[in-house]
Amino acid sequence: MANMKGGELITEYLISNEIPYVFGICGHGNVGMLDPLYEARDRIKLISPRHEQVAAHMADAYFRVRHKPVATLTSCGPGSCNIIMPLQVALSDSSAFLAITANVPTSQFNRSPFQEINKHYQADFVNIARPVVKRSFQPTRVDMLPLALRQAMTTMLCGRPGPVNLDVPFNVFQEGDEVDIPPPAPPLNAHRSGASPEQISLAAEMIANAKQPVIFIGHGVTLSEASRELTEFAHKLAIPVISSPNGMGCLDMTDALSLGFIGRNGAYPANEAGRRADLVIAIGARFDDRSASSWMPGYSWNFPHSKLIHVDVDPAELGRNYPPDLGILADARTFLQQALAELSTRKPQGGTTAAWLDQIAKWRSDWEAFVRPNFEVHASPIRPERIVADCQYVLPDDAILACDVGVNHNWYMQFWNARKPQTMLNSWGFSGMGFGAAGALGAKLAAPDRPVVAIAGDGCFTMVPHVLCTAIEYDIPVVWVIWNNFGWVSIRDIQLGMFDGREHGTMFFQGDNNKPYNPDFAAWARACGVDALTVTKSEDFKGALEHAVKANRPFLLDVHVDADVRPPATGAWELPPTPYKEPVFGNRWVPETASAK
Q: Rule CB under 5 A: which residues touch Mg ion? A: 457-459, 485, 489
Other beta carbons within 10 angstroms of residue 209's beta carbon come to 12
- For residue 431, the partner it binds in Mg ion, ligand TPP, none, with Cβ less than 5 to 8 A by kind, is ligand TPP
CB of 444 to Mg ion, least distance (A): 24
> 37's torsion region: left (phi>0), alpha (psi -120 to 50) or beta?
alpha
Q: How far is the CB of 133 from Mg ion (least distance, A)?
A: 31
Q: What's the min distance (Å) between Cβ of 21 and Mg ion?
A: 31
Q: Which does 490 bind (CB under 5 to 8 A by kind): ligand TPP, Mg ion, none?
A: ligand TPP
3-state secondary structure of 206: helix
Give yes or no for residue 408 binding ligand TPP (CB under 6 A): yes
User: Prior bond to 182 cis, omega within 30?
Assistant: no
Q: Report in angstroms the alpha-carbon separations of 315 from 131, 161, 588.
A: 18, 14, 31
Question: Which partner, ligand TPP, Mg ion, none, binds residue 433 by CB below 5 to 8 Å per kind?
Answer: ligand TPP
Please give the sequence-ordered ranges of beta strands (E in DSSP) within 313-363, or none if there are none.
Answer: 326-329
**Minimal distance, residue 427 CB to ligand TPP, in Å:** 8
Burial class (CB in 10 A: 0-12, 13-18, 19+), 178: exposed
Q: Where are the alpha helices (DSSP H) in 101-179?
A: 125-129, 145-157, 170-174
DSSP state of 218: -
Among 485, 518, 534, 538, binds ligand TPP (CB under 6 A): 485
Q: Does 490 bind ligand TPP (CB under 6 A)?
A: yes
Q: Which does 460 bind (CB under 5 to 8 A by kind): ligand TPP, Mg ion, none?
A: ligand TPP
Q: How far is the CB of 401 from Mg ion (least distance, A)?
A: 17
Long-range contacts of 503-510 (CB under 8 A, 24+ apart): 508/458, 508/459
Shortest Cβ contact with ligand TPP: which residue? 457
Do 378 and 535 touch, CB atoms closer than 8 A? no
Q: Which partner in Mg ion, ligand TPP, none is near 570 (CB below 5 to 8 A by kind)?
A: none
For the CB of residue 560, give the shortest distance to Mg ion in the complex, in Å: 11
Question: Which listed residue (62, 488, 524, 541) binds ligand TPP by CB under 6 A?
Answer: 488
Instruction: Please state, in angstroms and rounded to a whole number, the distance separating the CA atoms of residues 102 and 174.
Output: 12
Cβ-contact 13, 98 below 8 angstroms: no
| Residue 53 near ligand TPP by CB under 6 A | no
Q: Alpha-carbon distance 49 to 401, whole Å?
A: 20
Task: State the minimum distance, in angstroms, from the CB of residue 457 to ligand TPP.
Answer: 2
Instruction: Quote the distance between the C-alpha of residue 584 and its chain's center.
Output: 27
Rounded to whole angstroms, the Cα distance separating 85 from 433 reads 9
Q: Can you tell me the distance from the alpha carbon of 272 to that of 267, in angstroms, rounded to the nearest whole number?
A: 9
- Least distance in Å: CB of 407 to Mg ion? 7
Q: In whole angstroms, what is the distance from residue 312 CA to residue 175 CA?
A: 43
Minimal distance in Å, beta carbon 432 to ligand TPP?
5
The answer to whether 271 touches 586, Cβ cutoff 8 Å, is: yes
212 vs 485 by CB, closer to Mg ion: 485
Among 33, 309, 405, 467, binds ligand TPP (CB under 6 A): 405
- Binding of ligand TPP at residue 431 (CB under 6 A)? yes
Q: Is 435 in the site for ligand TPP (CB under 6 A)?
A: no
- Indicate the DSSP class of residue 553: S
Report, in Å, the least distance between residue 416 CB and ligand TPP. 15
Q: Which does 454 bind (CB under 5 to 8 A by kind): ligand TPP, Mg ion, none?
A: none
Q: Which residue among 73, 489, 530, 556 contacts ligand TPP (CB under 6 A)? A: 489
Binding residues for ligand TPP, total number by CB under 6 A? 19
d(CA 436, CA 430): 13
**Of 232-240, 279-287, 389-397, 400-408, which segment contacts ligand TPP by CB under 6 A?**
400-408
Identify residues 444-483 at the interface with ligand TPP (CB under 6 A).
Answer: 457-460, 483
Nearer to ligand TPP, 260 or 406 (CB): 406
We find the least distance from the C-beta atom of residue 45 to ligand TPP, in angstroms, to be 28
Nearer to ligand TPP, 106 or 431 (CB): 431
Q: Which of 432, 436, 451, 571 binds ligand TPP (CB under 6 A)?
A: 432
Q: Is 558 an interacting residue with respect to ligand TPP (CB under 6 A)?
A: no
Instruction: Establish if 407 lies at the interface with ligand TPP (CB under 6 A).
Output: yes
Binder of ligand TPP out of 406, 465, 568, 583 (CB under 6 A): 406
Q: Which of 491, 494, 496, 507 binds ligand TPP (CB under 6 A)?
A: 491
Under the criterion CB under 6 A, does residue 82 sit at the interface with ligand TPP? no
d(CA 576, CA 302): 20
- Residue closer to Mg ion, measured from CB, 260 or 459: 459
112-136 as b/e, with b when 16 or more CB fall inside 10 Å? ebebbbeeeebbbbbebbeebbbbb
* CA angle, residues 453, 216, 346, in degrees to nearest 5: 125
In the complex, what is the shortest distance from the CB of residue 518 to Mg ion, in angstroms, rounded to a whole number? 9
| Pairs from 414-417 (Cβ < 8 Å, separation ≥ 24) | 414/260, 414/261, 414/265, 414/266, 414/267, 414/567, 414/568, 414/570, 415/267, 415/371, 415/385, 415/388, 415/389, 416/248, 416/253, 416/388, 416/391, 416/392, 417/252, 417/253, 417/254, 417/258, 417/392
Query: What is the Cα 147 distance to its own chain's centre?
Result: 30
Residue nearest to Mg ion (CB): 457
Q: How far is the CB of 411 from ligand TPP (least distance, A)?
A: 8
| Residues 318-357 interacting with ligand TPP (rule: CB under 6 A) | none
The number of beta carbons lying within 10 Å of the beta carbon of residue 582 is 11
Q: Between 353 and 518, name the residue whose CB sits nearer to Mg ion.
A: 518
By beta-carbon proximity to ligand TPP, the closer residue of 259 and 407 is 407
Interacting residues toward ligand TPP by CB under 6 A: 404-408, 431-433, 457-460, 483, 485, 487-491
